[in-house]
Amino acid sequence: MIEAVAKRILVVEDNDLNRKLFCDVLRASGFEVEPVADGELVLDAARSFAPDLVLMDIQLPNVSGVDLITALKGEHTLAQVPVLAVTAYAGKGDEDRIRAAGAADYLAKPVSIGPFMAAVRRLVPAQGQPA
């Protein structure tokens, strides 16, 4: 019997409290999590971690989450990895711009745990969890 391997989620969030909350909730749901606080480290982290999902904050210091989504989608080994964009900045046209960059789904902050986990499970069903 093959043992199930935990699905891997790269959590890109510069806010310490949000990053810890996302990571704690995801770990409690059986995911393996790699937190990244600095947007400039995202591509290297994604290459080495090989995530099944990237949770992407859009407002990051030094680099835009939209630009990072575009960069991830431009990488041969990462292009198929779904991106769940999470942002407090939800102005008119932002969701379209974020989705156009390649995000599979979009959540506006503040994020409630129920809708957050529902979005994660839509994109990456955990082992033992119904899709």
Domain coordinates in residue numbering, the chain? 8-123
**pLDDT at residue 3, as a whole number:** 58
> Residue 71: helix, strand or coil by DSSP?
helix
Task: Give me the pLDDT at residue 131, please.
Answer: 42
pLDDT at 94: 86
For all residues of the chain together, what is the average pLDDT?
A: 91
**What is the DSSP code string of 7-68?**
PEEEEE-SSHHHHHHHHHHHHHTT-EEEEE--GGGHHHHHHHH--SEEEEESB-SSSBHHHH
* Residues 73-103 pLDDT 10s: 999 999 999 999 998 866 778 889 999 999 9
Whole-prediction pTM: 0.91
Q: 8-123, what's its fold?
A: Rossmann fold (3.40.50)
Report residue 130's pLDDT band, with 50, 70 and 90 as the boundaries. Answer: very low
Higher-confidence residue of 89 and 65: namely 65
